[in-house]
Amino acid sequence: MSALKRYGYPAWIAFLAGMALLHGLHLSADFPNNSPWQDWAKYTDEGWYANAAVRAHFYHNWYLPGDFNPAPAVPLWPFLEWLLFFATGVSMTAARGLAVGFFLVNLVLAYKLFRERGPRWAGLLAVTLLVTSPFLYSFSRLAILEPMLTTLTLAAMNLAIRLPRFRHPEAVAGLIGLIFTAMMLTKTTAVFLLPALVWAMAFEYRHRVRPMLRLLVAAGGSAALSFSLWMFLVVNADLFDDYKYLFFINTYEKAHGVYGRLMSFWWSFHGVLWIDPFLIPLSGALIVVALAGRRKGWTQGLWRDPIFGSSVLAVAGYIAFMTYQNHPQPRYYAFVAFFAMIVVVRVMAQLLYQPPRLRRYGLAIVAVVAVSLAVNTVWTIRYALHPEYTFVEAARALTRYIDHHPNGNRLLVSISGDDITLMTHLPTLCDDFGMMSLPAKTALYQPGWYATWNDFDPGTLEDLHAHFSLEQVASFRAFDDPERNVLYLFKLHPLAGGRTRNPADPAMHTILPQDKILIPVE
């Protein structure tokens, strides 16, 4: 054992450092093509949530009237990007580097969570499962909100489980309340994580009601006051409509009836298989076994550990959000993955320290984990060593075409416009979202260009026809989705004499004689 500790642990840590390093290589490369995870985030979200930071650097004003401005609802991520861009300049690589930085911090925080209650090998194993996951490799390298939300959640849990050790636990509880506000201002879905934080804070005080209530009041008061202060600033700056708009565009048709709700839950629950087809079913089975046997000796150690209970509630909370939303997406599970892996390792560690009759179940889990670990390590290394750059090359080629073929205003309208701005600094507008209708927005800003993926939405065509005819001029291949793998560029030609077509004309959503559109309108 002493030789293992002397040589095994340093070798293990060196392996983890090498795998972590892979996450920071080739940051301008595509989200891995031909992966099992098709998510619109790779086309849009990085630019959307960075647009306030980008505009602040280029135009000295983060707010673009009428366009999509999510910063009033989720300000912390663009604020950090704004600070970062002073040092790095505006770039997709810098934004993704910030996300990878949060992912690396998450590995440390996950380890610290385990070390409070368990052996070093369990903490290192949890980190190993996380750092070798191809799913997390893919999504941790996107400049999206999930890595930062995970960091804040893990930080709050690390403080919560250590509350009895602090001299002034009420002050630390107040800090946890501030962190919860930061979680809400990073991604509004954090409200579904409140039960997990309450469990982590209150568990050790479950037999001492008055101290527990003091802690909960301190945390709740701190969160309520800080969040109310932010909402006061939003309302006072006349940005409440932009705040509400983020919820409006994320409203999807809800399931109705018992059967519909069950199917919504099944869809959200089944989505966790995106994370890992071996370990996630194992994680679910272990949670069920722990619930069914909560009165047995070996499970009592689990339920007496706030790490296990709060991890289960974090997974359940996010699945509950996706069930309510009825719109699960792979990127949402980048948060779930951390706590599902914690559950697997925590139960395995519990079983390995039981009598031989139970220990063999822990060894069986070790075997499953070893197989999954081997497969995932090879998969992740393959992604890291074979980067592709189709999207950034398409964005650069599109920008060069616009610069070499002037057409009025050098302003592009596109669903992926904010991503393109982050890559090439081309000024853009979003064609799908914004506080103004697209006809009003294009009338105000007079763009010269439009870009879309693979086909033309008839509603968007109708909106553009209010002021323009369209000429298809170029195409650029990018990504792997057969329905969204070519970016088509159009010139926008203002109607003669500045006239506007009648929006009631039913032909406006179809190709008109003045247009040159070769892709399907559907």
Residue where a domain terminates, one of 192, 225, 251: 251
Examine the domain organization and report whether 70 and 161 are in the same domain: no
The answer to the question of residue 106 being in a domain is no
Total residues found in the chain within this entry: 522
Residue where a domain terminates, one of 207, 229, 251: 251
Examine the domain organization and report whether 74 and 165 are in the same domain: no
Q: If residue 236 lies in a helix (H) or strand (E), which one and from where to where?
A: helix 209-236
Examine the domain organization and report whether 68 and 167 are in the same domain: no
Examine the domain organization and report whether 396 and 509 are in the same domain: yes
Q: Which of 95, 102, 119, 192 is nearest to 155 (CA)?
A: 102
Total number of domains in the chain: 2
The answer to the question of residue 431 being in a domain is yes
What is the pLDDT tens value at each position of the chain, 522 positions in all?
676 777 888 999 999 999 999 999 999 999 999 999 999 999 999 999 999 999 999 999 999 999 999 999 999 999 999 999 999 999 999 999 999 999 999 999 999 998 887 788 999 999 999 999 999 999 999 999 999 999 999 999 999 999 999 999 999 999 999 999 999 999 999 999 999 999 999 998 988 889 999 999 999 999 999 999 999 999 999 999 999 999 998 887 877 788 888 888 888 888 888 999 888 888 888 887 777 766 666 676 778 889 999 999 999 999 999 998 888 899 999 999 999 999 989 888 888 888 887 788 888 888 989 999 999 999 999 999 999 999 999 999 999 999 999 998 999 999 999 999 999 999 999 999 999 999 999 999 999 999 999 999 999 999 999 999 999 999 999 999 988 999 999 999 998 876 777 666 667 888 888 999 999 998
What pLDDT is recorded for position 297? Answer: 66
Examine the domain organization and report whether 158 and 239 are in the same domain: yes
**What residues does 196 pair with on adjacent strands?**
none
pTM of structure: 0.94
The answer to the question of residue 453 being in a domain is yes
Residue where a domain terminates, one of 251, 286, 304: 251
The answer to the question of residue 101 being in a domain is no
**Contact present, 129 and 369 (Cβ < 8 Å):** yes
Give the domain extent around 419.
31-81+390-522
Which of 172-176's residues contact partners 24+ apart within 8 Å by CB, and which partners? 173/201, 173/214, 173/215, 173/216, 173/218, 173/219, 173/222, 174/218, 174/219, 174/221, 174/222, 175/222, 176/201, 176/219, 176/222
What pLDDT is recorded for position 327? Answer: 83
Helices 92-115, 76-88: inter-axial angle, 10-degree rounding: 120
